[in-house]
Structure 1
């Protein structure tokens, strides 16, 4: 069974190379020993205009308003192995990140978070995301997220700004 063996090898390699693992917990339909099913495809959102991106970034502190969105998109590749970010997209190993800004940690309906994240009292904003992306286990001891952190402050700034543009509904 070459195909079955190949799938196991690919899944095993993906698990080892994934930048993040069980972010806050496995989805309610997957066990910790089984990979979660791929998220159901959601229709791709229309590309944001420069004005819409600028309006979304204006909601963030000044440092994020001049971030390099292309660099942020490249850094998001680390997150995509575990997270989707499109509106109405499914969860993967980690929850869908659409609407993360302003959301209470551990509160996305239908995702099984760790008790530690649910009890953290965090509401996601640029500052908390920066702390989380620096060291998730340092911010929330007991989280199931296995991502070790993104150490470069500019990389985090770029990533957070990019996340704002892909996880928020555009302003008119």
Structure 2
């Protein structure tokens, strides 16, 4: 049973210029948008920029939002993904002679080195996936969307999404094989 869009009333208040509604919308959606952008881009600063632009677009669209075509959450994820892909395309277009130096921010001693290393390895393996596989894995495993929701968001069939997920999982398993204990 479809109960409609759970964000519809809040979005209407945002469209009316209600500052409390804007804060509530950002508080409700920002963590997932940031997480998605962070996983797609692998750069927290770029992820914040994408999240900011995503919410600017949501704020501009709020007054004209027409429920029924898609859920607001689906639209918001699509905007964030499109902005991520724009940034990924720009990265490929910029040729550099030497790779940038990565700053080792190192974990705090109380956080545990192994957990940090695992997280970095997984993030690196995710960045190594082709864009569509990374998108599928991010939407289903990190954003916790159902296969049906993720397929609709990506504009593919559920079978195509499951194929992307299977290939992505295989690639991640291969990239992280030395970490898996038998």
TM-score by length of 2: 0.32
| Bigger relative contact order (CA 8 A; separation at least 6) | 1
Larger of the two Rg values belongs to structure = 2
Higher helix proportion (structure 1 or 2) = 2
